[in-house]
């Protein structure tokens, strides 16, 4: 449930599993992490301003913390199992783009800079690790794959003109592609 300044409900969303972590940009986009039904599973999802599910991605590990960049372009999940932990970065479409495994070190905290380029993780042994994210080439590659997949679906539905338009727009956005 998200409220406005007068405590009026702006949106509501319900998951079958308990939500363990939450990060919001307000009513436009809210990311959440929940435990799965099986041991050592969980998932990350994102809801839009109407409260509808935009995407959901199942991942290994139980969620600890979740963060979202100010643009909504990067979602970071900190998860753990019985002895180790994992930091997973997801694109704005919910696709995992990068992860870091913490063997034998349980992560305890997460912070993501508003622009999504810096992330800090704390570990149970007292370590604080700060990372500079350089996901742009990976996200650009994913963007290419998504655009190509969407263009193929459009061609299969019989609309070649729309497919060409999609590909031209992608080339305008990223001329090096």
* Of 130, 121, 125, nearest in space to 105 by CA: 125
Residue 31: pLDDT band with limits 50, 70, 90: very high
* Of 98, 21, 24, nearest in space to 68 by CA: 24
Residue 11: what pLDDT? 57
Residue 110: what pLDDT? 93
Weakest-pLDDT range from 32-41, 94-103, 124-133: 32-41
If you search the block for the tokens 């139980």, which residue do you land on?
A: 62
Residue 82 reports pLDDT greater than 80 = no
The three state secondary structure string of the chain is CEECCCCCEEECCCCCCCEEEEEECCCCEEEEEEECCCCCEEEEEEEECCCCEEEEEEEECEEEEEEECCCCCEEEEEEECCCCEEEEEEECCCCEEEEEEECCCCEEEEEECCCCCEEEEEECCCCEEEEECCCHHHHHHHHHHHHHHHHHHHHHCCCHHHHHHHHHHHHHHCCCC
Residue 172: pLDDT band with limits 50, 70, 90: low
89 vs 145: which has the higher pLDDT: 89
Residue 66: what pLDDT? 93
């Amino acid at each position: 449930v998200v409220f406005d300044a007068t405590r009026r409900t702006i949106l509501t969303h319900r998951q079958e599993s308990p939500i363990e972590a939450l990060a919001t940009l307000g009513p436009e986009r809210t990311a959440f992490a929940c435990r799965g039904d099986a041991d050592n599973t969980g998932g990350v999802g994102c809801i839009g301003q109407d409260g509808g599910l935009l995407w959901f991605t199942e991942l290994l590990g139980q969620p600890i913390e979740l963060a979202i960049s100010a643009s909504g372009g990067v979602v970071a999940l900190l998860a753990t199992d019985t002895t180790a932990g994992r930091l997973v970065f997801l694109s704005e479409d919910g696709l995992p783009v990068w992860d870091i495994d913490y063997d034998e070190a349980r992560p305890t905290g997460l912070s993501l800079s508003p622009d999504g380029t810096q992330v800090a993780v704390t570990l149970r042994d007292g370590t604080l690790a700060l990372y500079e994210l350089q996901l742009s080439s990976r996200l650009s590659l994913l963007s290419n794959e998504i655009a190509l997949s969407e263009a193929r679906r459009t061609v299969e539905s019989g609309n070649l003109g729309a497919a060409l338009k999609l590909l031209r727009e992608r080339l305008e956005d990223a001329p090096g592609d």
